[in-house]
A and B are shown apart, each in its own frame.
Chain A
Amino acid sequence: MTTESRSTDIDYEAFRLEVEAFAQSQCPADLRERVRSNAKMCREDYAAWQRILNARGWAAPGWPVAFGGTGWDMRQRYLFELVMAERDCPPQYHHGLGHIGPVLLHFGTPEQHARFIPGILDGSDWWCQGYSEPGAGSDLAALKTRALREGDEYVVTGQKIWTSHAHEADWMYTLVRTSSEGRKQEGITLLLIPLNSPGIRIQPIRTIDAWHHVNEVFLDEVRVPVANRLGEEGGGWKCAKFLLDRERLAPAIVVRLERLLQQVAAQVQGSPHGTSAFAERLLLAEAEVRAARELLLSAIDDEMNGRLRASKSSALKLHCSELAQRIIGIAFDALGPRRAARFVPLAEDGALQVAEDDQSNMIHNYLFYRSRTIAGGTSEVQKNVIARELFGA
């Protein structure tokens, strides 16, 4: 019945204490303050923390030891993320470690391993994801960016959109269409494209949260060496599926919720309406956060025993992303009456200024969190996955 009943040789409590001691002593105070205040994190913040983790040998909690990872099991990864959240340490930048990294490990050549893995581990190479296009969002296989083979190069032309961090990244792992024959999934190939290549133009997309996350990336006859192709030509969909299957469980999304609720509860203390006006919602959120934690632990147990169902991991994603919105919505109600009209301060010359106080960050995050139920598989896509299992078709 308990989700933590599996016998093991690992002393999880000792492990947790070790991680706590590390977080306490090694994470710089300024970084922790930025995390605590829910400020917008940028490459500089993430990279600083990644260097520290790399020096400790903890750069890649989800990777095997042979490739520089920790070799931790899922429970250790959960404890690591839990302590990181409790101590306000930054999350790790996911595009390298969590997304393209595992695909590289599985599908990459030895030369590609040697070229790309060290830069992911030490944070010197920064990656972004070139998947979505104006006509290919949830229906990703409809993508049209084309790559024509010319000798030892592909010539890539097209447009990517919603490309997070492209403005601060060095590389974009990019799904392109190399064939229009057969099923649309079969003509897709995965290329690793340097963002300083001639023909690439990155244009920011202004989003409602007034933070710069996402971009449009225009590719105009960009020449990419065939050596930068990951997997077979036409094998891009397999790579993308591999990533989705592998990243079914992400402990970080749960543990950060726990911290967020604590912060929101603190913000509500100062509300002119008083805390009692929010008591029921906070308590329900507490119950839901606890449920999320138990769902995660149960899913980890299932994963470690090879029986994790897609419906459970999708349920976890669905529950957490919608819960995150409900929690931040409480802060929005508490702070909105004053802060909604005072969202971003203006300088004398009319320029937008950056306000990074806790209350401003909550409002930014309320708007930013709308993306939680859209990015990484919309809630509707998750529901389709679950429904297929519930109904058996």
Chain B
Amino acid sequence: MQFNADTMFPGDLFEAAARFAADSLAAGDRAGAWQQAVAMGWPVLLVDEARGGAGGTLADLGAVIEGCARHPLGLPLVRRCAQAPALLMAAGSTAADETLRALCAGEVDLDVVDAPALTVTALADGGVRLDGLLEGVDAALPFTHVLLSAGTLQLLVPHDALPAPTARFVGIDGAQIADHLLSGLVLPAAAVLQRGEAARSAAATSQDLAVFATTLDMAATLGATIEQCITYLSTRVQFGVALSTFQVLRHKVVEMYVDYESASVLLARLVADTVATGQLAARDVALCKLYLNELARRGAEASIQLHGGMGLTAELPAGRLARRLLCAEFEQGDRFTQLERLAAEPTAARL
């Protein structure tokens, strides 16, 4: 029996998410897939039922992310289903609570952008004026508002308040983003969800969750990548034999597998600790991301190499997975970002 990547979050939700991702990928309709995800309540999965959400757990979020990672659609699950609701819940203001209520009611659809370089000018009426380049806004899937972290402010920016994009891009994994040049964009006081230390703290909390969710995505994608490699090597015949008979290729896959097992158990421990303590440990999250960044790059490059020329083709499932791994490395903080976060604490003390 060949290798099948185990899920960390087995159950109906994982199975349903994996089926949904496979079907949606086959249909090739990302916008339609996102509408379905919204209809299934995934953007409010983590929100308490008392607040109108689905009352799901971290494991439920993990099941959705893992399931979808097996057939990468490029849905913004981390930003919209983890980071956005977490930011609103952590902000703890009336305006944030109202936005959360609207999200649960399906009245708003939120993208999340971190924009530390924007110039923010406070206005006398409590509103703000924004100047500068707002980078990385979703350019493919519909949304009504952007949750913006700018300095020590959290802002809710209506989509229709944004000027036309100055540029649009397709990422390595196919996701589309846009940059918008803001010139004196004025937002009323009601658009300010939180300020100061409370805003900074909420941003940090939600970012930890987003980083963690990204690592789950990466581990699951790596598992799916290994499956693809094994299938390919077992069926592709060269020199009259299956490629899987060549020891050097088998060993390459084994190295990917050991990486995958290591990542999986490390993340399982993080989940268990989080359930036990009720909160994600920021340092542990950063350490996992640093590690997964390394493994993701290694796994993507190995997969491309193992597939030979086929590994360079854009439509092959393995190619999609590899490109997703390469992108995920830079999402929610590359190696340098994680190193900066980890620099404050010595290594040995934490073992």
| A residues at B contact (CB < 8 Å) | 1-3, 258, 261-262, 265-266, 279-280, 282-292, 294-295, 297-298, 311-312, 315, 318-319, 380, 383-384, 386-387, 389-393
B351 at the interface (CB under 8 A from A): yes
B257 at the interface (CB under 8 A from A): yes
Can you show 7 pairs from A to B with CB atoms below 8 A apart? A1-B271, A282-B347, A283-B342, A286-B287, A298-B265, A390-B2, A391-B2
Known: A295-B262, A315-B261. A391 touches B269 (CB 8 A): no
List B contacts of A280 (CB < 8 A): 290, 335, 339
Q: Flag if B59 contacts A288 (CB, 8 Å).
A: no
Q: Flag if B3 contacts A389 (CB, 8 Å).
A: yes
Q: Flag if A392 contacts B2 (CB, 8 Å).
A: yes
B168 at the interface (CB under 8 A from A): no
Q: Flag if A279 contacts B348 (CB, 8 Å).
A: no
A237 to chain B, nearest CB (A): 24
B268 at the interface (CB under 8 A from A): yes
B233 to chain A, nearest CB (A): 8
A311 to chain B, nearest CB (A): 8
**How far is it, in angstroms, between the C-alpha of A76 and the C-alpha of B333 when the chains are bound?**
39
Whose C-beta in chain B lies nearest to the C-beta of A276? B343
Whose C-beta in chain B lies nearest to the C-beta of A299? B265
Q: Flag if B253 contacts A387 (CB, 8 Å).
A: yes
Given contacts A261-B348, A384-B250, 17 further A-B contacts (CB under 8 A): A1-B272, A2-B272, A258-B351, A279-B339, A283-B290, A283-B347, A284-B291, A286-B287, A287-B291, A298-B265, A315-B257, A319-B258, A383-B254, A390-B2, A391-B2, A391-B233, A392-B3
Known: A2-B268, A291-B263, A387-B250. A262 touches B351 (CB 8 A): yes
List B contacts of A294 (CB < 8 A): 265-266, 268-269
**How far is it, in angstroms, between the C-alpha of A391 and the C-alpha of B342 when the chains are bound?**
38
**How far is it, in angstroms, between the C-alpha of A298 and the C-alpha of B9 when the chains are bound?**
15
**How far is it, in angstroms, between the C-alpha of A318 and the C-alpha of B260 when the chains are bound?**
13
Count of A-B contacts judged by CB separation below 8 Å? 119
List A contacts of B272 (CB < 8 A): 1-3
Q: Flag if A390 contacts B350 (CB, 8 Å).
A: no
List A contacts of B9 (CB < 8 A): 1
A126 to chain B, nearest CB (A): 33
CB neighbors of A among B220-277 (8 A): 226, 230, 233-234, 244, 247, 250-251, 253-255, 257-258, 261-263, 265-266, 268-269, 271-272
B8 at the interface (CB under 8 A from A): yes
**How far is it, in angstroms, between the C-alpha of A284 and the C-alpha of B342 when the chains are bound?**
11
CB neighbors of A among B311-346 (8 A): 335, 339, 342-343, 346
List B contacts of A1 (CB < 8 A): 8-9, 59, 268, 271-272
List A contacts of B291 (CB < 8 A): 284, 287-288, 291
List B contacts of A285 (CB < 8 A): 347
Q: Flag if A291 contacts B347 (CB, 8 Å).
A: no
**How far is it, in angstroms, between the C-alpha of A279 and the C-alpha of B350 when the chains are bound?**
14
Q: Flag if A390 contacts B3 (CB, 8 Å).
A: yes
**How far is it, in angstroms, between the C-alpha of A319 and the C-alpha of B265 when the chains are bound?**
13
The 10 A-B pairs of least Cβ separation, nearest first, read A294-B265, A287-B291, A291-B262, A387-B250, A2-B272, A265-B348, A262-B348, A390-B3, A383-B254, A282-B347
**How far is it, in angstroms, between the C-alpha of A383 and the C-alpha of B258 when the chains are bound?**
10
Query: Per a CB cutoff under 8 Å, which of A262, A284, A315 touches B294?
Result: A284
List B contacts of A286 (CB < 8 A): 287, 347, 350-351
Whose C-beta in chain B lies nearest to the C-beta of A319? B258
Known: A261-B347, A383-B251. A290 touches B269 (CB 8 A): yes
| B residues at A contact (CB < 8 Å) | 1-3, 8-9, 59, 226, 230, 233-234, 244, 247, 250-251, 253-255, 257-258, 261-263, 265-266, 268-269, 271-272, 287-288, 290-291, 294, 335, 339, 342-343, 346-348, 350-351
**How far is it, in angstroms, between the C-alpha of A15 and the C-alpha of B234 when the chains are bound?**
48
Q: Flag if B265 contacts A387 (CB, 8 Å).
A: no
A364 to chain B, nearest CB (A): 21
List A contacts of B347 (CB < 8 A): 261, 265, 279, 282-283, 285-286
**How far is it, in angstroms, between the C-alpha of A2 and the C-alpha of B294 when the chains are bound?**
24
A7 to chain B, nearest CB (A): 16
**How far is it, in angstroms, between the C-alpha of A3 and the C-alpha of B266 when the chains are bound?**
11
Q: Flag if B254 contacts A386 (CB, 8 Å).
A: yes
Whose C-beta in chain B lies nearest to the C-beta of A264? B348
**How far is it, in angstroms, between the C-alpha of A298 and the C-alpha of B250 when the chains are bound?**
24
List A contacts of B268 (CB < 8 A): 1-3, 294, 298
List A contacts of B269 (CB < 8 A): 2-3, 290, 294
Q: Flag if B258 contacts A387 (CB, 8 Å).
A: no
Q: Which of A262, A266, A286, A289 has the most CB of B within 10 A?
A: A286
List A contacts of B339 (CB < 8 A): 279-280, 283
List A contacts of B3 (CB < 8 A): 389-392
List A contacts of B288 (CB < 8 A): 287
Q: Which of B254, B255, B257, B348 has the most CB of A within 10 A?
A: B254
List B contacts of A266 (CB < 8 A): 348
Q: Flag if A291 contacts B253 (CB, 8 Å).
A: no
Query: Per a CB cutoff under 8 Å, which of A2, A289, A312 touches B261?
Result: A312
Whose C-beta in chain A lies nearest to the C-beta of B253? A390
List A contacts of B346 (CB < 8 A): 265
Whose C-beta in chain A lies nearest to the C-beta of B251? A383
Q: Which of A282, A285, A291, A315 has the most CB of B within 10 A?
A: A291
Q: Flag if B234 contacts A289 (CB, 8 Å).
A: no
Q: Flag if B266 contacts A391 (CB, 8 Å).
A: no
A276 to chain B, nearest CB (A): 8
List A contacts of B287 (CB < 8 A): 283, 286-287, 290
Q: Flag if A287 contacts B290 (CB, 8 Å).
A: yes
List A contacts of B244 (CB < 8 A): 391, 393
Query: Per a CB cutoff under 8 Å, which of A279, A298, A391 touches B234?
Result: A391
Q: Flag if B257 contacts A386 (CB, 8 Å).
A: yes
List A contacts of B351 (CB < 8 A): 258, 261-262, 286, 289-290
**How far is it, in angstroms, between the C-alpha of A312 and the C-alpha of B3 when the chains are bound?**
12
Known: A280-B335, A391-B250. A3 touches B257 (CB 8 A): no
List A contacts of B8 (CB < 8 A): 1
List A contacts of B294 (CB < 8 A): 284
A244 to chain B, nearest CB (A): 18
List A contacts of B59 (CB < 8 A): 1
B241 to chain A, nearest CB (A): 12
**How far is it, in angstroms, between the C-alpha of A338 and the C-alpha of B287 when the chains are bound?**
31
B286 to chain A, nearest CB (A): 9
**How far is it, in angstroms, between the C-alpha of A321 and the C-alpha of B263 when the chains are bound?**
17
